[in-house]
Amino acid sequence: MQLELSRYIEGDLDDIADYIAQDNPIRAVTFIQDIRTKFFDIQHHPLIYQLRPDIGEDARMATHGSYAILFRIMGEIIRIERVIYGSRDLSGIFKPSKWCAPEQT
């Protein structure tokens, strides 16, 4: 399966790194590397992760530390949509019909 990242991912990862770097710049770098490694775990075993119908019909969620990695399976493509703090009310943030925005071309 092919891995695809939404346009939000780099911003999400930058925000996470900036937050962690306030206390530990070295850990910020390794934490983001760990999240990127998790993307490849998701790519190779997407069906083991939790379905989240409260977020979207095809939404799935993996976690890394306190962060939720939201993704969906689209045929042969695994699309990572967002990486956000997992203690937030995810179903309140994302509307089931609009949990991910289409890419702009």
In a domain, residue 92? The reply is yes
Domain assignment of residue 80, given as a range:
2-98
Residues 6+ apart with CB under 8 A from 90: 52, 54, 55, 61, 68, 70, 84
In a domain, residue 78? The reply is yes
Tokens at 89, concatenated: 């009310």
Tokens at 25, concatenated: 């710049």
Q: What is the CATH number of the domain that holds 50?
A: 3.30.2310.20
In a domain, residue 105? The reply is no
For residue 48, the model assigns a pLDDT of: 97
Per-residue pLDDT tens listing for the chain (105 residues)? 899 999 999 999 999 999 999 999 999 999 999 999 999 999 999 999 999 988 888 899 999 999 999 999 999 999 999 999 988 777 766 665 555 555 543
Give Rg (Cα) of the chain: 13
In a domain, residue 104? The reply is no
Q: Is 96 helix (H, G, I), strand (E, B) or coil?
A: helix
Structurally, the chain folds into a number of domains equal to 1
Using H for helix, E for strand and C for coil, what is the string for 24-63?
CHHHHHHHHHHHHHHHHHHHHCHHHCEECCCCCCCCEEEE
For residue 47, the model assigns a pLDDT of: 96
For residue 75, the model assigns a pLDDT of: 92
